[in-house]
Structure formats: C-alpha cells, structure tokens
Amino acid sequence: MYKEVLVIDDNPDIRFLICSILEEQNFKVRSAANYDQAVLEINKRLPDLAIIDIKLDKPDRDGIDLLKLVNQKNRLIPVIMISGHATVAIAVEAIRLGAYEFIEKPFSKEKIINYVNRGLESAALKKEKDIIENKLFHSFELIGKSPAILKVKKIIDKLSTSESRVLISGPTGSGKELVARKIHKNSSRTKEPFVIINAALLKEKTYEKELFGEEFEDGNISFGSLERANRGTLLIDEVSEIPFETQANVLRVLIDQKFKRVNGSKDINVNIRLISSTSKNLDTLVKEGKFREDLYHRLNVMPVELASLSSRTEDIPLLIEYFKSKLSEINGVQKPDIDIKNDSLYTYNWPGNVRELRNLVERITILSSNESKQKINQVIDDVLNPSSKVEDNKNILEQSFQSPLKEARENFEKEYLITQLKKHHGNISKTADFIGMERSALHRKLKSLGIKGLN
C-alpha cells in the first residue's frame, strides 16, 4: 500500500517541488496552501507523514500549532518541519514538541527523500514495538501458588461477569496494571478500548484536560481519556495523585456518566468501567483529608489487594521459570540456567517487587544466557547488592556482643531460621530436614522464638 504524505507550505513553488519529488518516489501526496486548509486536511484524514512549513499565512498560528494538532491526534505520525528563516531556538522547540526532523531551506531532493523514508521507518518500528508490548502484556499471566495470589485469581474470575468498579492496591511493581488488564480481558468489554491514565505522571494543571479533553477556538478537539475509553475500560493508575479539586469532577462523572470538555458547553455521555489502582493507603489519605471520602467509596466497590513479593517468596521459583521461558522466546536466546535455590533471591527485600524480578531475569536472559550457573549466581548476588546484607549482619553481630548470651543466641537462631524458611519457601518439613531437626522440634522452636512462618 502506498504511503501518504501531507505537504503544508504557503509557497506554491516549494509546495509543488516537494509534491513532485515525493510523487516520483510513488508516494501518495496531499497538500495544503495555508493554515486553514491544513487543519481541514488533518481533520479529514491523518497522513502517514506530514511535512510542515513553520511560517504560514496566519500571524497568530503557524506550523508549530499544526505539529501540536497532529501529535494530539496521533503521536506516532512523523512530522518533518521546514523553514527558510527559522532560528535555532525554533528548531529546538519543534524537536522538543515531537517533530521527527527539522530541515532548513534550501534543501536537496536527496535530503527530502532520505528524511521521509527514515521517518516512515521510524514510525513503523514504533508501531510494531507498541503492538509487541501490548501483546506481551496481554500474554503475561498472574503467576503464583501463594494464598495471596490464589485469592486474587478467584476475585478476577468473579469480576468477569460484573460491571463493578475495582480498586487495586499494592506496592509498586506488584502487578496492578496486569490485574486490571486481566479484568478487562475477561469482561464483556474485552473488544472495546482499554485506556490507561497515570495520575502520578501528569502536571497539576493538565489533569482535567487529560481526563475530559479540550475544545479550541478554531474548532479543534483534543479527546480526553474518558472519551477515548467510552464503551471500554479506563484504568486510573495512582489515583491518589489526582488533585483534591479535580476529584470532585471525577465523582460527578461517576454519578452522572457525563461531562463537559474543558472550554466546552456540550455534555458528553460515556459508558465506561472504571478501574483504579494505588500504591498508597487511600483510607489513610481520607482520614488525613487528602482524598475525598465520597470518591473513595465510589471507587472501592470491589477491592483487590496485591501482596509484596517479599511476603510471598514461595512464588519466586515459579516466576523465574515463567519469565525465563517468556523472555528467552521474545529475545531469541536460550533459557539461562538460574539457580532457584540461591539464598539471595529469598533474603532480598525486592522493593520493586515482581517487576524488579522480571527485570533481573531479563538482564540475565539477554546478557548471561550462555553463562554457567555459578556465574549467573554471581550476577544475581551483585545485582541484589550483598554488601547491604553484610552490613546488616555486621550490625546484628555488634548488637549481639552487647546482649546477654541467651538473648544473643536467640537473635541468631531467629535470623537463621527465618532465612532457612525463606530459602525453602516456608515449607516446615524441608526446612527441618535441611537444618537437621525433627519437624515437631522445629515447630516448638519457631513458637518459642515467635516466628509464625512466612506471611
């Protein structure tokens, strides 16, 4: 299929020259001679690539405004900006706002062809990457056999026939977005849009524009997340970060199922399923007056809580095997020989949770897949920063020297048994066999030391 290029320049000679060059290369070409024509062409149909002159016929509107318009509609479309009298500052600003390339007049035929081809190739690669990442996310499963994960899986199954709002809470990297995608995939809305808005990444002044969209004086419209998610599912990630003033407007949408765009006067009706996620305790924020109680209750119809990885270490071997298979297939390399009995995997705190474990496995898969188990163990120990554990052990030892013998021995036994329990994934029988104790004796020892096993 021929690629389509939109050429926007108010100089008829240059416009004709560029169009002729591209048509000779078998591109389908449209053109616009001024700002208003350009807006009509962009709104009529987006091209595969746009070439836009910075200076046009309007004193208050120029090619930079058209660049913003194209980006609002689709950021994957490459835009090449051209100008014969632009400053370096304007060129830098154009690139910062998302232009693929900036060309100064006069330019050669070869330069135009080269930049157009490179721009289209870059867009194709970005599109392919988005497709792969989207498929990859959909293909990942919620892995684990711990009670915490089995409970979440049951809730997801029950939510498949429900339209209830869901609030997913859990530490960073624990899999909140994955759970949201699974809920959407299992629902009757699975063929409709799944839209994510990350409230933690937005600037304070842009929340309402991102949620509700915006109408401009020239008739252009920027669609917000609510409108783009119509008939589908909207995930508001880190919902606690929405400003208190905006929370009231979100609540009104949930009640009325309609809203007005920023600067708009017409009601926009929507039918969406709202899923929210948070790594903060919303109940605490409500008590502190930082989150609206009425909105909290509207969002928290069906709560889903994800546990930290350090509290479900029995899932680590399963996750490693799963990520090994997935990531080696994706990267086209053999599966690495990762020792799932490596103590570091179970004594490490995993502040980044499952995401951090996946990143570790991916790093090993790409860089060390052909290495021996011993070398991979060394990589794991290096990455998980054993120096901090050495320091911790040093502190424990120093504390022990300042304690009576009985207390010091109990502290050592407690640390030792907790480490062995984590190493054997909470299995009492395996731990007892390894340390050379009877199972019943180990039970009594754990009880006397106040160890309740792995939580």
- Which residues make up the CATH 1.10.10 domain(s) of the chain? 388-448
The fold of the 140-307 domain, in CATH, is: Rossmann fold (3.40.50)
* Radius of gyration of the chain, Cα coordinates, nearest whole angstrom: 29
Length of the chain: 455
Top pLDDT among 133 and 69 is at 69
Neighbour count for residue 63 (Cβ, 10 Å): 27
Q: DSSP strand E in 165-283: where?
A: 166-169, 194-198, 214-215, 221-222, 233-237, 258-260, 267-269, 273-278
- Which residues make up the CATH 3.40.50.2300 domain(s) of the chain? 4-130
CATH superfamily of 4-130: Response regulator (3.40.50.2300)
Residue 70 to residue 46: CA distance in whole angstroms: 8
Instruction: Give residue-wise pLDDT tens across range 149-166.
Output: 999 999 999 998 889 999
DSSP assignment letter at 201: G
Task: Give the pLDDT mean for 334-355.
Answer: 89
Top pLDDT among 93 and 52 is at 52
pLDDT at 455 over 50: no
pLDDT at 280 over 80: yes
Residue 22 to residue 278: CA distance in whole angstroms: 50
pLDDT value at position 368?
A: 77
Chain Cα centroid distance, residue 316: 22
Instruction: Give residue-wise pLDDT tens across range 96-131.
Output: 888 999 988 888 899 999 999 999 998 888 777 666
Residue 57 to residue 15: CA distance in whole angstroms: 14
Angle of helix 88-96 relative to helix 63-73, nearest 10 degrees, comes to 10
Which CATH code for domain 388-448?
1.10.10
Instruction: Give residue-wise pLDDT tens across range 322-337.
Output: 999 888 887 778 889 8
Q: Give which of 32, 85, 99, 98 is closest to 55, Cα–Cα.
A: 85
pTM beyond 0.95: no
Please give the full DSSP string across 307-375, using - where no structure is assigned.
--GGG-GGGHHHHHHHHHHHHHHHHT-PPP---TT-THHHHS--TTHHHHHHHHHHHHHHHSTTS-HHH
The two tokens of residue 85 are 């009298």
- Which residues make up the CATH 3.40.50.300 domain(s) of the chain? 140-307
- Which residues make up the CATH 1.10.8.60 domain(s) of the chain? 310-384
Which CATH code for domain 310-384?
1.10.8.60
Q: Which pLDDT band holds residue 311 (cuts at 50, 70, 90)?
A: very high
